């Protein structure tokens, strides 16, 4: 589905990939409802949109709250009249700790935002999307959704759940006007660590200094994938490499990641 003259909802639209998705969808001629939990981030997105901001609406919303999602859906439809596409992009990581060291609140927060937020947003907007001549759902999983990362086990579990949910949606919606894409970003330069309230230990400098793709380049690849109706979109050379390696030599792939992340867990 082409972007021009379509209306999109983007969660996490106040920073990182979400912010760039909003800006680039507007540049390609779309209208956007950007949702985020931070007003300051949405204000920054509006400033970056420049003259295209006339086609932008911004909405404060906590996607882990079903009542907030219902309110968001009502606000978006009241403002734009209809919606043609949904980018479930918002997400957080967990503290860099082993499963045995995590508290229940940290576990539930990651699952509520990453998985349930994606699920509830999809359920809120899907009935409307099914009425459109064509529509698209784009859900952001992660390289960690197909490759286990020690110290991010719950994050990975949430993103693996997004992967399987999205692939099932793809199958369920094949005979409808709604297409579905799942995105697997590798290392992308965003502020997800800061916005997740997570500190990277000093001993993790090597792991945290790996080469990253810019948020703008990542957003461009994601939108291109949506316009091409791609089933999977791998974002970044590391995602491509580890996707192939994890399928051909899964145990070796895990050991490579474990070695890379060991410093973060041994602090």
Contact between 118 and 165 under an 8 Å Cβ cutoff? The reply is yes
Rounded CA-CA distance 64/115 in Å is 9
Range of the domain at 209: 7-265
In a domain, 1, yes or no: no
CA 17, 85, 178: angle at the middle one, nearest 5?
A: 130
Residue 191: which CATH number? Answer: 3.40.50.720
Contact between 26 and 32 under an 8 Å Cβ cutoff? The reply is yes
pLDDT of the residue at 39 = 98
| The two three-digit tokens of residue 234, written as one number | 């791998």
Contact between 30 and 108 under an 8 Å Cβ cutoff? The reply is no
pLDDT of the residue at 246 = 87
| The two three-digit tokens of residue 33, written as one number | 């409802």
Residues marked as catalytic: 155
Number of domains in the chain: 1
Which spans in the chain are helix H? Answer: 16-27, 39-49, 66-80, 104-111, 117-129, 153-172, 192-195, 205-208, 215-227, 237-248, 250-265
Its pTM stands at: 0.90
Residue ranges in the chain modelled with pLDDT below 50: 202-209
Q: What is the pLDDT of residues 98-107, one digit of tens each?
A: 999 999 999 9
């Amino acid at each position: 589905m082409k972007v021009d003259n379509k209306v999109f909802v983007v969660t996490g639209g106040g920073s990182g990939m979400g912010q760039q998705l909003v800006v680039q969808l507007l540049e390609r001629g779309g209208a956007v409802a950007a949702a985020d939990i931070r007003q300051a981030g949405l204000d920054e997105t509006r400033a970056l949109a420049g003259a295209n901001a006339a086609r932008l609406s911004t909405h404060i919303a906590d996607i882990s709250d079903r009542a907030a999602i219902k309110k968001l859906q009502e606000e978006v439809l009241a403002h734009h009249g209809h919606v043609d596409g949904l980018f479930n992009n918002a997400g957080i990581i967990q503290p860099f700790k082993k499963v045995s060291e995590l508290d229940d609140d940290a576990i539930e927060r990651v699952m509520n935002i990453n998985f349930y937020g994606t699920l509830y947003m999809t359920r809120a907007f899907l009935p409307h999307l099914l009425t459109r001549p064509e529509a698209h759902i784009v859900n952001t999983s992660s390289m960690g959704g197909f490759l286990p990362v020690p110290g991010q086990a719950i994050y990975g579990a949430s993103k693996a759940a997004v992967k399987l949910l999205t692939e099932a949606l793809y199958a369920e919606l094949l005979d409808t006007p709604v297409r579905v894409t799942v995105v697997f970003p590798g290392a992308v330069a965003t502020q997800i660590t800061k916005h997740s309230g997570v500190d990277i230990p000093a001993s993790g400098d090597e792991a945290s200094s790996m080469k990253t793709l810019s948020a703008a380049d990542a957003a461009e690849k994601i939108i291109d994938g949506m316009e091409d109706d791609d089933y999977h979109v791998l974002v970044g050379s590391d995602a491509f490499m580890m996707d192939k390696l994890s399928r051909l030599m899964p145990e070796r792939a895990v050991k490579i990641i474990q070695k890379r992340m060991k410093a973060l867990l041994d602090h």
